[in-house]
Amino acid sequence: MTRMEWYNALAKPTWTPDGGTIGLIWSLLYPVILVSFGYVFVQAVRRKVPRSVAVPFAINLVANLSFTPIQFGLRNLPLAAADIVVVLGTIVWSMIAVWPHYRWVAAAQVPYLAWVGTATVLQLSITAMNW
């Protein structure tokens, strides 16, 4: 069974967006993530902000990039649910950490936060429905 056949066979809430919509949302978010996270990492390397400010961004990046291999490679719904909760939590943490230094970076995370909040509820629902 392919990854998409497996995913399509899962029970999902009626409000689950189709794959094209999910892909479009990530296509819009990834450039914002790239620029804002990159800016924070560069500023931390240049010591214009404490390196601790970059920590939640780094954890978020690792957790975000881990989701697809966990969800579709391992097909592990509980672990994917835990991972997306980490993604959501580190978005909030990063916004708080960067706010005193670069408010525009914190504000740029709002659409990411909104989408991952929705995706977290979706993933937790899918996990509960298929466990």
pLDDT tens digits along 17-51: 999 999 999 999 999 999 999 999 999 999 999 99
Is residue 1 pLDDT above 90, yes or no? no
Show the beta-strand stretches assigned E in 59-110: none
Is residue 54 pLDDT above 90, yes or no? yes
Residue 125, in any domain of the structure: yes
The DSSP call for residue 17 is P
pLDDT tens digits along 107-127: 999 999 999 999 999 999 999
Residue 12, in any domain of the structure: no
Q: What is the pLDDT of residue 68?
A: 96
- The pair of three-digit structure tokens given for residue 22, joined into one six-digit string: 């999910």
Total domain count, the chain = 1
Residue 2, in any domain of the structure: no
Residue 85, in any domain of the structure: yes
Residue 8, in any domain of the structure: no
Q: What is the pLDDT of residue 5?
A: 94
Q: Which domain holds residue 60?
A: 18-130
Question: For residues 28 and 60, what is the distance between their CA atoms, to the nearest angstrom?
Answer: 18
Residue 6, in any domain of the structure: no
Residue for token pair 């997306």: 84
Sign of CA dihedral 92, 97, 103, 104: negative
Residue 93, in any domain of the structure: yes
Residue 79, in any domain of the structure: yes
